[in-house]
Amino acid sequence: QKEVEQNSGPLSVPEGAIASLNCTYSDRVSQSFFWYRQYSGKSPELIMSIYSNGDKEDGRFTAQLNKASQYVSLLIRDSQPSDSATYLCAVHTGGFKTIFGAGTRLFVKA
Amino acid sequence: DGGITQSPKYLFRKEGQNVTLSCEQNLNHDAMYWYRQDPGQGLRLIYYSQIVNDFQKGDIAEGYSVSREKKESFPLTVTSAQKNPTAFYLCASRWGPGELFFGEGSRLTVL
């Protein structure tokens, strides 16, 4: 079992729709959870961080964390073509490592 | 401006050569990380360091070496023992359990 798992996609949504990205992790003592966006050839940039169970909203983005189910998700409302990128789920584990999932490619069709 | 500087941005290596990628940060972060990314893949952890003069192997440390003699610097050497080194290399730092701050990356190509 991989430490952090994501659907590789691609996920294709029409402009204005909600994009839903999911991630599961295996280390139960993980304490910090992050979503990064990465454009082709560029370094990742932070979209959201979440540390406790529940929802966290920032503009069009909502992160959801469920530690009991070891599950974290990212919702993107009113998706725009500029949101087309690879979204990386990252988990800061109890061993001081930050482990990334393989990423989900998102395409937003105009 | 505070941030992480990686150099060189592009690097070409002949078979059998060692190369060193530089990573410098002025964020006063204790922890620093090196990741490797292959096309269409996520980031895989090579080495990480929580404090000066201490570092740990990540998931794919074979063929790589690091040093952490100064808080600001965490260079990565790709040795000739790394059989498939062509990849995008990313250096990052963090404070506590917060997010990673990334450099712009170094793209290594083996000729």
> How confident is the model at residue A1, as a pLDDT?
63
Task: Please say whether the beta carbons of B22 and B70 come within 8 A.
Answer: no
Do the Cβ atoms of B105 and A43 come within 8 Å?
Answer: yes
Question: B31 vs chain A: nearest CA distance in angstroms?
Answer: 9
pLDDT (mean) for A31-49:
95
Say if residues A6 and A101 touch (Cβ distance below 8 Å). yes
Report pLDDT for B40: 84
Q: Do A51 and B90 touch (CB under 8 A)?
A: no
Size of interface A-B (CB pairs under 8 A): 53
As a whole number, the mean pLDDT across chain B is 94
pLDDT band, very low/low/confident/very high, at B1 (cuts 50, 70, 90): low
Which residue in A45, A42, A63, A15 sits closest to B100, CA to CA? Answer: A45
* For testing contact with chain B, the best of A39, A98, A104 (most B CBs within 10 A): A98
Q: Which of B31, B42, B105 lies at the smallest CB-CB distance from A100?
A: B42
Query: In this predicted structure, what is the pLDDT of residue B97?
Result: 81
Of chain B, the percentage scoring pLDDT greater than 90 comes to 80
Average pLDDT rounded to a whole number, residues A71-81: 97
CA-CA distances (angstroms) from residue B47 to A21, A69, A76? 28, 29, 32
Q: Which pLDDT tens digit goes with each residue over A19-39?
A: 999 999 998 888 899 999 999
Rounded Cα–Cα distance for residues B110 and B108 (Å) = 7
Whether the predicted pLDDT of B2 surpasses 90: no
Q: Which of A2-6, A57-61, A75-79 has the lowest mean pLDDT?
A: A2-6
Q: Which of B43, B48, B60, B104 is the best substitution to test chain A (most A C-beta atoms within 10 A)?
A: B43
Predicted local confidence at residue B83, as pLDDT = 87
Residue A9 has pLDDT above 90, yes or no: no
User: Each residue of B22-71: pLDDT tens digit?
Assistant: 999 999 999 999 999 998 889 999 999 999 999 999 999 999 999 999 99
Question: How does DSSP assign A61-91, residue by residue?
Answer: EEEEEETTTTEEEEEESS--GGG-EEEEEEE
Could you give the C-alpha distances from A45 to A17, A87, B1, B20, B92, in angstroms and in order? 22, 10, 17, 25, 11
